[in-house]
Structure 1
Amino acid sequence: MVLVNYIVMCLIFGTTFLAIKVGVDAGAPPFFSAGIRFFLAGLILFAFMVWKKQARVSLLLRKEMLLTGLCLTFGTFATLYWAEQHISSGIAAVLSATAPLLVMLLQTRLSRQKLSAISWAGCLAGLAGVTLLLLPGLTFSFSVLWIAGCVAVLVGQLFYSAGAVYSRRVSQQFKDVSPITLNAAQMMYGGVLLLVISAFTEQVHTEFLFSSQAVFSLLYLIFVGSMMGHSIFYWLVAKTNPLFPSTWLYISPLIALTLGAVLYQEPLHLSSLAGGLAIIAGIVMINLNALKQLVSKKAPLEHAESPTK
């Protein structure tokens, strides 16, 4: 059951980038559609947890939920949704995979620890990969908006890395609160902030609601991407360990690149593919010690799988 859920989660997270692209291309306002997605997904999950008596409404009054939502949802997805107006979903997915690298650099900076040689090599490989990804926009058909879209995704990952480091402290502070509840609360706040920026920057016309592609994209992202995907993620964390589910970041970008090229005819230059592989190789190198620990600790997985056999 663990393996099945892991595969489903990777497929879900790998398809969300294309779903965002489909919705944006169909005319859905980026900030508005992102805000609706996360606010409704968070609201439904939070209401369910309250109904199950595993959450209290008073949690929404804590500033920690606002700050986490500002980074993990608002900053990360405002930039991603805007960027996918100008870049392919595959490129967006691969650039988003730089998040673990940025988290590692931020944690190292805060803790003032020195990086190992393999970690520095991973950083250089990741930087080389980002450069290779940017080459098509510079050499084939120079586009300022294409470059801006790539930079926007990277800026979003800075928000995510800061939010990830901060959320670990928040989760320790709220040990008695389910991670699903904490995630639902921050999604609600992030969704509200996205709707606020939409109100000031976008003219929302209801015509996009008559587009089957836009409606399907929105519903898919709410129920499958946000609710189902994140619920499986936290279920895997509970059944195994925090590291194992996070390895989706090594797999989903390749899924997104393939789906974008096959189903949506997105351009896939050899330099972009090489860049994507270099970024993923860099992330693996940076997390090599943690991955070795995951391989050596098979007991939690076997224990988690035994009840389902």
Structure 2
Amino acid sequence: MNDAPRITAASWMMIAALAFIWGGTFLVTEVALTGMPPFWIAASRIGFAAIVMLVIWAWRGFLLFDTRPSRADLLTTFAISGLSGAIPFALLAWGQQHVTSGFAGVSMASTALIILPLAHFLVPGERMTWRRVLGFVVGFIGVAILIGGQAFETNGGTLETAGRIACFGASSCYALSSILMRRLPAVDAIGLATILLLIGSLYSIPLALIADGPPPMPTTDILLVLLFLGLVPTAAANFLRVLVVRSAGPVFMSLVNYQVPVWSVVLGALILSEPLPPTLLYAMVLILAGLGLSQYGALRRLFGKAG
């Protein structure tokens, strides 16, 4: 796909929805971990999502590539499926057991900084400019301020270093999968999202069996949590992610990672009655400034047309 990214009002609405959905996923995952091992959480959410998307894809007639795909396109699709689902889900679920939640949040925000140089060299129309770099750095600083001291503090665990590597590995997987997804030829978004989840299930279920053994029988509450994880932050969000990456590009998609921690903090306050950090306002100003600075051209075109 060689056409330039197209950032529209719908693009902004989709990344706002994704940020809200994924911002609450950390809370739900913590609940799931009370009754299910981490690798089976990853396998369950991908498996449930794959079933839902398969039904929708079948109803649409199994549309996928507009033209006959090459062997390289098929191999790339297999690689994307692992890098965008099974592998990072498993890495993050395991890593969260050994690092602070603050560090996990910062590692996810680093996805944007990883994508920026990759897209410059690998994706047409995604050149790295001083304004874009500055905007991404300002946004990342905002995330670090929001999370506070726990972002980089140690918990003293013996597996903390491995947990940190796992979290950054998950971020790198998301970054690389977005780059590869953008480079695919013309493809149906629902078909691609379904294929990624189906192949991801082939990765994640054997991995869960090897790492965690047979799955425990979940309680009704845990089963409902797993269904939610599969339907909303996996099936629905995966479809939205494909739409954004394919239309607006991986760099624009990565802006979600700066918004997710804000929603995570706000939802924690609303649902769990956690105190709002005093740095929330300053962090939000920096994050919004970073978003605006990095996407100055797109915003100018958008509001220019609106006016």
What TM bracket, shorter-length normalisation?
Answer: 0.7 to 0.9
> Structure 1 residue 21: deviation in Å?
2.0
Cα RMSD (Å): 4.2
Aligned amino acid, residue 83 of structure 1: G
Structure 2 distance, partners of 1:293, 1:119, is 16
Q: Paired residue for 2:207?
A: 197
1:100 aligns with 2:112: yes
Equivalent pair of 2:123/2:179 in contact (CA under 8 Å): no
Q: Paired residue for 1:242?
A: 248
- 1:33-48 matches, cutoff 5 A: 33-48=41-56
> Structure 1 residue 186: deviation in Å?
0.9
Q: Pick one of 149, 169, 194 that aligns with 2:183.
A: 169
Q: Paired residue for 1:224?
A: 232
**Which residues of structure 1 form unaligned runs of 5+?**
300-309
> Structure 1 residue 200: deviation in Å?
1.8
Q: Which moved more, 1:107-116 or 1:26-35?
A: 107-116
Aligned amino acid, residue 66 of structure 1: F
**Superimposed CA distance per residue, residues 58-117 of structure 1 (whole angstroms, 9 cap, x where no aligned partner):** 99x932321111211123222222223245667644542332332112122447997433
> Structure 1 residue 284: deviation in Å?
4.8
**Superimposed CA distance per residue, residues 170-227 of structure 1 (whole angstroms, 9 cap, x where no aligned partner):** 2x2xx2x3111101111121222122222222134424x0261x22220101122223
Structure 2 distance, partners of 1:138, 1:144, is 16
Aligned amino acid, residue 232 of structure 2: V
TM-score w.r.t. the length of structure 1 is: 0.72
Q: Paired residue for 1:302?
A: none
**Superimposed CA distance per residue, residues 128-151 of structure 1 (whole angstroms, 9 cap, x where no aligned partner):** 567665842655855565565444
1:77 aligns with 2:89: yes
State the SS of the aligned residue for 1:85. coil
1:14 aligns with 2:23: yes
Q: Paired residue for 1:154?
A: 168
**Share of identical aligned residues, percent?**
22
Q: Paired residue for 1:304?
A: none
> Structure 1 residue 266: deviation in Å?
6.3
Structure 1 distance, partners of 2:216, 2:299, is 47
Q: Paired residue for 1:251?
A: 259
Q: Pick one of 178, 185, 197 that aligns with 1:187.
A: 197
TM-score w.r.t. the length of structure 2 is: 0.73
Q: 1:166 to 1:139 in 2, by over 3 A?
A: closer
> Structure 1 residue 275: deviation in Å?
7.0
**Which residues of structure 2 form unaligned runs of 5+?**
1-9
Q: Pick one of 109, 112, 116 that aligns with 2:129.
A: 116
**Superimposed CA distance per residue, residues 216-263 of structure 1 (whole angstroms, 9 cap, x where no aligned partner):** 22010112222333445667899xx637x9465443331112223443
> Structure 1 residue 53: deviation in Å?
1.0
> Structure 1 residue 273: deviation in Å?
8.8
Q: 1:111 to 1:23 in 2, by over 3 A?
A: closer
Number of residue pairs aligned between Structure 1 and Structure 2: 289
